[in-house]
């Protein structure tokens, strides 16, 4: 099994979208970030001759920026962008690193600003954050076998060279019209890659987001305040929809006041009794650790087993110092199914439970 991590230059991808739209003759093109890692895994699995099941996407990272100090007329635009980053994190389990860009009171879209205004928004940290994170994981012995980067800028060449010197294989996912020559070149003089570039241009049909986030109205009679919320969920005709807050409140009441998340899918609403919900925080002990492979299992007080990878550790926990029998808390990333253990994320020391 090949472990891969995906590192997306969100700023580059966002800039590239109009070109992708053009190449499929549409007004606009939106990427389905839920599908993207699966398509990448399949493409790499084919290259490696192991199929999609031979490739395990252990983590997706996205680096991007978000305007601050912008003209209040753009509030809705920015709320929508914030909501998009939240979806990536909560629904698709991306690790997101988002950096503020100061707009100094200006409108966010260039076309909405006074044409005589020479103001240039300056993005900070995004490239360096991507490079630091990638090289951090490349330097860990067992975090990943292949670093997959979704980008096109030449600035990343030294990072790709270094990742390969650390013994990791590198795959590049890019867009033909927005990819630096040195990255694209089949003979790879720059020494940046171990596979042919995976061109998004060739996969547009699969990568297009068909269920984009939409604004719905919460129909809970107990709802407080503005009823509008954004979601990618598509309710069936006539099916009532509820915002996160109302689902959570409902779940808490149902569980006699105990804290319990309603889970991510509306399919789970109302939640099944006795089953932990996705995203719920549970406590347990580390009961097995596979040193050389960088993973282990946590058993909860109820005897349910959850898998974790070293990259799921947080709050100062380091894989090498983790003892079997040590108490931890974690978030449920996947539920146990058919005798298979569940999966844990955000594994951290119990002290943080008080938050
Ligand atoms: Zn509500």
Say how many Å lie between the CA of residue 211 and the centre of ligand 1: 22
User: What mean pLDDT do residues 30-38 have?
Assistant: 90
Match 């569940």 to its residue by tokens: 342
Query: pLDDT band at residue 238, thresholds of 50, 70 and 90?
Result: low
* Closest to 284 in 3D by CA, of 320, 247, 336: 336
CA distance 147 to 193: 10
Q: What percent of the chain has pLDDT over 90?
A: 44
Residue 177 lies in a domain: yes
Say how many Å lie between the CA of residue 270 and the centre of ligand 1: 14
Say how many Å lie between the CA of residue 351 and the centre of ligand 1: 31
Q: What percent of the chain has pLDDT over 70?
A: 88
pLDDT recorded at residue 321: 86
pLDDT recorded at residue 234: 66
Position 312 pLDDT exceeds 90: no
pLDDT recorded at residue 268: 37
Say how many Å lie between the CA of residue 280 and the centre of ligand 1: 20
Residue 138 and residue 37 share a domain: yes
Query: pLDDT band at residue 228, thresholds of 50, 70 and 90?
Result: confident
Residue 40 lies in a domain: yes
Position 281 pLDDT exceeds 50: yes
Query: pLDDT band at residue 241, thresholds of 50, 70 and 90?
Result: confident
Range of the structural domain that residue 220 is part of? 214-268
* Closest to 278 in 3D by CA, of 250, 306, 253, 303: 306
Say how many Å lie between the CA of residue 233 and the centre of ligand 1: 15
CATH number at residue 301: 2.40.50.140
Residue 274 lies in a domain: no
Say how many Å lie between the CA of residue 223 and the centre of ligand 1: 4
pLDDT recorded at residue 147: 98
Residue 319 and residue 337 share a domain: yes
Residue 276 lies in a domain: no
Residue 77 lies in a domain: yes
Residue 328 and residue 230 share a domain: no
Q: How many separate domains does the chain show? A: 3
Say how many Å lie between the CA of residue 84 and the centre of ligand 1: 19
CA distance 219 to 299: 38
């Amino acid at each position: 099994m090949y472990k891969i991590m995906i590192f997306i230059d969100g700023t580059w991808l966002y800039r590239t979208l109009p070109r992708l739209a053009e190449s499929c003759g549409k007004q606009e093109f939106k990427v389905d970030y839920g599908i993207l890692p699966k398509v990448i895994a399949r493409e790499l699995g084919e290259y490696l001759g192991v199929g999609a099941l031979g490739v395990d996407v252990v983590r997706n990272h996205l680096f991007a920026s978000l305007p601050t100090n912008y003209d209040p007329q753009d509030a809705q635009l920015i709320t929508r962008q914030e909501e998009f980053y939240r979806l990536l994190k909560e629904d698709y389990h991306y690790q997101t690193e988002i950096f503020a860009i100061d707009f100094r009171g200006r409108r966010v879209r260039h076309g909405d600003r006074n044409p005589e205004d020479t103001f240039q928004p300056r993005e900070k940290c995004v490239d360096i954050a991507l490079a630091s994170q990638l090289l951090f994981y490349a330097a860990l012995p067992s975090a990943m076998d292949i670093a997959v980067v979704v980008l096109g800028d030449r600035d990343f060449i030294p990072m790709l060279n270094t990742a390969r010197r650390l013994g990791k294989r590198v795959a590049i996912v890019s867009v033909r019209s927005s990819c630096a020559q040195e990255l694209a070149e089949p003979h790879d003089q720059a020494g940046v890659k171990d596979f042919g570039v995976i061109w998004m241009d060739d996969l547009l049909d699969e990568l297009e987001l068909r269920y984009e986030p939409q604004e719905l109205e919460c129909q809970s009679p107990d709802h407080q305040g503005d009823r509008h919320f954004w979601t990618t969920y598509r309710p069936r005709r006539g099916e009532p929809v509820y915002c996160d807050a109302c689902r959570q409140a409902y779940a808490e009441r149902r569980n006699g006041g105990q804290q319990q998340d309603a889970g991510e899918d509306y399919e789970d609403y109302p939640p099944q009794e006795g089953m932990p919900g996705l995203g719920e925080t549970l406590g347990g002990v580390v009961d097995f650790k596979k040193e050389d492979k960088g993973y282990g299992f946590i058993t909860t007080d109820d005897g349910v087993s959850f898998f974790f990878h070293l990259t799921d550790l947080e709050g100062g926990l380091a894989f090498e110092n983790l003892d079997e029998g040590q108490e931890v808390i974690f978030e449920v990333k996947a539920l146990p199914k058919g005798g298979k253990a569940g999966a844990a994320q955000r594994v951290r020391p119990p002290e943080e439970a008080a938050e």
